Every structure is written in structure tokens, then in C-alpha cells.
Amino acid sequence: VIRFLERHRIPYHYLRTTAGDKRDDEILALVQDTDFLVLARYMQMLSADFLRRYGKDIINIHHGLLPSFKGGHPARQAFDQGVKLIGATSHFVTEELDAGPIIEQMVDAVSHRDNLQSFIQKSEN
């Protein structure tokens, strides 16, 4: 993602996060003048307070097909369910985890020959 952004000269901020990290004020200071946000591999829920204070569209890129595989490890969820189609979903962020309106989905076929690692690679590409 970073290489793409740099190649196209798109401004971005890369924020390292840890579980439970609540840096709403710091993040808001960085993004308050943006038109919208795109989350890629953010892997954290934004607080309801942050969503209210930011007040603009936020798009999340989720490496699983929603609404079926919400939350963490969607490729493992798909593998465990034995599905034959996997993919990624872009959706608008809401207070509920991975439940916002879907914008677009990309789908890839898998077969009985695929293993967990190939599921992960296909869903992340």
C-alpha cells in the first residue's frame, strides 16, 4: 500500500498501533483537514467518539468477504468453513465491526488444493 501511495504521490500517515491504543486526539489532529479516510491493515476499531468527531466518510479495506467473515483472521475463517470463493471487501466504517455499507468486493476462487497460507495470500492480494 505504501509503495502505491508513494508512486502516485498520495499523502498518507502511517500510524503504528497496539491493542487498546486510544490515540483519538493524535489521529484527529493529523486527519482533521482531509475529505475522507481509508484504513488499510489498521486492525483496530475506531471509537464512536472518534467517528462522531471526525464526521466524514471512512473506508476500510477488509481482507475477507463481508458480511460472512467479520473481524480478525477472515482467511482462516473462510478456510475453516471450506468455502470456494474468498476475497476482500471495501466498506464504509460504522460503530459496528465490519458492518458498514459495502462499496466493492474482489473475489478469487479457491479449491481443495489450497491450504491456509494460499487462502491468506489470495485474500490479501
pLDDT in tens, the chain (125 residues): 788 889 999 888 887 765 555 678 888 988 999 999 999 888 888 999 999 999 999 999 999 999 999 999 999 999 999 999 999 999 999 999 999 999 999 999 999 999 999 988 888 77
Distance of CA 13 to the CA centre of its chain: 15
| CA–CA gap between residue 38 and residue 88 (Å, rounded) | 14
Q: How many domains does the chain have?
A: 1
* CATH at 54: 3.40.50.170
Give the distance from CA 35 to its chain's centroid.
Answer: 18
The C-alpha angle with vertex 103 and arms to 26 and 15, in degrees rounded to 5, equals 20
Range of the domain at 52: 2-124
Cβ atoms < 10 Å from Cβ of 43? 13
| pLDDT score, position 17 | 65
Active site residues: 98
